[in-house]
Structure formats: C-alpha cells, structure tokens
C-alpha cells in the first residue's frame, strides 16, 4: 500500500499594514518561495505625502489611495485580509485580526510589522474633535469639508465677528505637512476662489501657521526653513514661531507665546500636524520581547537588523521603527521593507539566520512644496528652493504614485490647478464634517472600545 506524499508547507510571511512599508514588502516577495498574507485596517494603499492635495481639492481619493487588493491581484503568492490587528503572539507565532464581529488568527513564520503611526496630540486627545490631523483618507475628506465649508458659512452669516472667525484658518505644526497645507489654503483663498462669492472676498481670509519650535521646517535646517517662511509670508500667511497651543475648542484655540503670555485666536477651521504617535502594536511587541523598548512616541527600538530582540524573524519597519538617522518618511519605510525581505529570502536558503549586515539607510533627501512653482529641497549637503525644487518634488511624487492611470490623472490635475485657477475636487458634504462626531457618539452609547490596529 502506497502512502501519498505530503507537499512541504511553504514559508509563511505575514505583513501588517498596507502603507509604503507593507506594500513594498509584499511586492518584493513576489518571486520568493513564500506565501504572503497582508493584513490592513484599510482596503487601500495610501500615498500619504499627497493627502493634503485631497484636503484642498486638487486630487481625488482614487489617485492617491488605490485598492491594495487590485495592486496585488496578479501576485499569486499574496493574499489581502481586511481587519484591525488586535493581538500579536510572538511565542506561538500568530496574528489576531478583527473585522466587525469576526476574529481571525493567522500563523506566521516571518512577520513584518509596518503598522505606521497616527496623529499625536501630546496627551490632549480631546483636541482631535476640533482640529483633525492629516493621516487618513477620512481626515482629508473631513478637512476638505471644513475648509471649503468655512467659506460657505462666511458667505451666509450676517455677523461680522462670526464671518471673521469663519475666515480664519489655523494650521498647527510647521513640518512638511503643515507647510504644504497652509500654502494650499492660502492659494485657495487668493486664486481658486477669487470671484466665486458675492458677500465675502476670500482673499481677506486670515491664514495662520503656528509652530512651537523657533523655525519653519526644523528638520531641514535654518536656510531652507527661512526660505519657506519668507515665501509663506509673501503669500499672506502669518507665521508664528515659539508659540505653543494650550487648548482647542469649537470656537478657536488658545496659544502661549515664548514670554509666557496666553491669548485666544477665534477660528472655525483648525488643522493639526504637530506630531505623530506610533501604532500601539509597537508596545505589544516590546512587552513580549525581553530587552526591547519603545521611545516616547511608541516606536520600537529595534536591533541593527530591524528585528525585535530574541525574535530574528520579526521585523519592524516604517514609522513604527526607531533607528537613529532614519526619518519617519516614505523612504525609510521603503528601504526598511526591502531590507527585511532580503533577510527573509536569505534565511530560506539556510536552517538558521545567517549573519546579517545591519540595516543602512541611504538618505535620498527631503522636500516640501510651499506653493505652485515653489518648493524647498535638501539632498545631502545640497539645499535649494524655488522652481527647480518644485519640479524635483513633482517628479519624485509622480514616480512613487502607484498605477499609470493615477499618474496620468495626477499630471492633468496638477496642470489644471497650477497653470490655471481651477480644482477638480471641490465637492463637500455635511457628513464628511460631522461623521467623526457621530461615530464617537455611537461608540459612547454602545460603550464599544476602539480597535488598536
């Protein structure tokens, strides 16, 4: 009697997160002899650096958030699961995810955690209801509703004080996101909406950028920071440095100056881009690994090979990893993901992990757009700004957009917006603005805890 042979089980790689780290990890395992399972709490891969253009009506969601399942549909060794990751068991090598009332346990041989980060309010989470961040598609659509809705409300109100409040826009945080958002709000007011209203003049809008540090774009150095600040001020933006936000409410916010004085700024639309907090999954990993710690932002202090101590097959990449000299940007996530997949492929050729070379980050520079035809760029010791930097910014972002169709539509949208005055994504709805509040009320009524994935 013959006994049927059992095919050996392939190495199982589970990837958590569908951002740059998660998606690039999955794609770089396309030809590896492994089975890949990508688990994410959204159905799309978000090109986060262009999220502000969704919020200000330049691009649609589809251009920067293609469906992950469609991106990987031709990759036969990959499957995509929708769900919030609520648990990681390093001892038993399983990941537990939840979708609605369904819970799924997925085993792994290698794990890549690229869960990313969320907006940080530095312990003042109640600020979020009044000053949304810029981390998700929901955030961008809500902010578009709030920004354009402020102009609509100003057109209708008969109170001069309320009109001034509605036409005051405050962006908190002068990093790349804050600079890009505040620049586009100013261009909306001065270019796009010119002549569109009858009761108000949109160009009279007051646009304010608040930063607790003494400079704009602190990571990019004083030269580029000053260049960006001067350009913003030329556009009519009030740049307030050494200023800390101490309270945010529906009517406005309270700020504290360097000399200790506090005062109010009445405004309807507030945008928060002042800090990030890593996914809680980082602390779950650290608690199960002797000697692994998290920093103040919740990022995992990983080993030189991006693993957690004592678990050579568990990698942490992207915004969730703490590696000296590696910024929380797309390039750090991409390079970390590629490095992790190379180690997994190498390990498949031996019974035990080979001696690994430590992860080395290649700094390809950083950049931020300020307005049409104007950006700042830093590549190594080379620093430059203006039109050339803006072209470099366009080219880089276009290169990393997923899908030829999305690239083509982005080019057309940029052509219309930057050469003309129009923007193709100006639709807003009341539900976009109030969905967050409604969901919070439902959760409070049902006493349902939020997922941590």
8 A C-beta contact, residue 44 and residue 137: yes
C-alpha count within 13 angstroms, C-beta hemisphere, residue 180: 22
The stretches in the chain having pLDDT less than 70 are 1-8, 351-354, 447-453
| Bridge partners of residue 169, in order along the sequence | 207, 269
What is the rounded distance in angstroms from the CA atom of residue 408 to the CA atom of residue 403? 9
| pTM score, whole prediction | 0.91
Identify whether 180 is a catalytic site residue. Answer: yes
11-119+277-347 and 125-274+365-437 agree in CATH topology: yes
CA–chain centroid gap for 404, Å, is 22
Predicted local confidence at residue 447, as pLDDT: 65
What is the rounded distance in angstroms from the CA atom of residue 309 to the CA atom of residue 292? 6
Residue whose C-alpha is closest to residue 115's, from 272, 236, 276, 273 = 276
Predicted local confidence at residue 430, as pLDDT: 87
8 A C-beta contact, residue 366 and residue 220: yes
Tell me: the pLDDT tens digits for 259-302?
Answer: 999 999 999 999 999 989 999 999 999 999 988 999 999 999 99
Which two three-digit tokens encode residue 323? 């590696």
| Bridge partners of residue 263, in order along the sequence | 255
Among 180, 187, 211, 303, which one carries the catalytic annotation?
Answer: 180
Tell me: the pLDDT tens digits for 328-384?
Answer: 889 999 999 999 999 999 999 876 656 889 999 998 889 999 999 999 999 888 999
Pick the CATH number of 11-119+277-347 from 3.40.50.1470, 1.20.1730.10, 3.50.50.60, 3.40.50.2300: 3.50.50.60
Each domain of the chain, given as residue ranges in start order, spans 11-119+277-347, 125-274+365-437
Its CATH architecture, for the domain 125-274+365-437, is 3-Layer(bba) Sandwich (3.50)
For a pLDDT cut of 90, what percent of the chain falls above it? Answer: 85
């Amino acid at each position: 009697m013959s006994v049927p042979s059992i095919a050996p089980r392939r190495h199982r790689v589970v990837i958590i997160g569908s951002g740059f780290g998660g998606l690039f990890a999955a794609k770089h395992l396309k030809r590896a002899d492994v089975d890949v399972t990508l688990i994410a709490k959204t159905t799309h891969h978000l090109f986060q650096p262009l999220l502000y253009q969704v919020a200000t009506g330049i691009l649609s969601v589809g251009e920067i958030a293609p469906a992950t399942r469609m991106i990987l549909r031709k990759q036969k060794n990959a499957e995509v699961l929708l769900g919030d990751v609520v648990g990681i068991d390093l001892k038993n090598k399983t990941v537990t995810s939840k979708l609605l009332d369904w819970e799924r346990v997925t085993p792994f041989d290698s794990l890549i955690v690229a869960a990313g980060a969320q907006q940080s309010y530095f312990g003042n989470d109640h600020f979020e209801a009044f000053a949304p961040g810029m981390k998700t598609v929901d955030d961008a659509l809500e902010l578009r509703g709030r920004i354009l809705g402020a102009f609509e409300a100003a057109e209708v109100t008969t109170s001069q004080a309320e009109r001034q409040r509605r036409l005051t826009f405050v962006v908190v945080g002068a990093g790349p996101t804050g600079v890009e958002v505040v620049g586009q709000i100013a261009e909306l007011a001065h270019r796009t909406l010119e002549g569109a209203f009858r009761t108000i003049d949109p160009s009279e809008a007051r646009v304010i950028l608040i930063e607790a540090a003494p400079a704009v774009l602190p990571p990019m150095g004083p030269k580029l920071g000053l260049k960006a600040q001067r350009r913003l001020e030329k556009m009519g933006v009030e740049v307030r440095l050494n200023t800390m936000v101490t309270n945010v409410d529906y009517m406005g916010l309270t700020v504290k100056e360097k000399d200790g004085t506090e005062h109010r700024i009445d405004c309807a639309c507030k945008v928060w881009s002042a800090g990030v907090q890593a996914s809680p999954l980082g602390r779950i990993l650290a608690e199960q690994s002797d000697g692994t710690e998290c920093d103040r932002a919740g990022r995992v202090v990983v080993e030189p090979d991006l693993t957690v101590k004592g678990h050579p097959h568990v990698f942490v990449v992207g915004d969730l990893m703490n590696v000296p000299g590696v910024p929380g940007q797309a390039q750090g996530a991409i390079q970390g993901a590629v490095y992790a997949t190379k180690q997994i492929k190498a390990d498949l050729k031996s019974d035990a992990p080979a001696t690994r070379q430590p992860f080395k980050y290649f700094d390809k520079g950083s950049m931020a757009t300020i307005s049409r035809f104007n950006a700042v760029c830093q590549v190594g010791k080379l620093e430059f700004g203006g039109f050339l930097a803006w072209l470099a910014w366009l080219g880089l972002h276009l290169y990393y957009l997923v899908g030829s169709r999305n690239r083509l539509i982005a080019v057309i949208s940029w052509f219309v917006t930057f050469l003309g005055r129009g923007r193709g994504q100006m639709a807003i709805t009341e539900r976009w603005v109030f969905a967050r509040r409604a969901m919070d009320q439902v959760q409070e009524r049902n006493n349902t805890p939020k997922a941590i994935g």
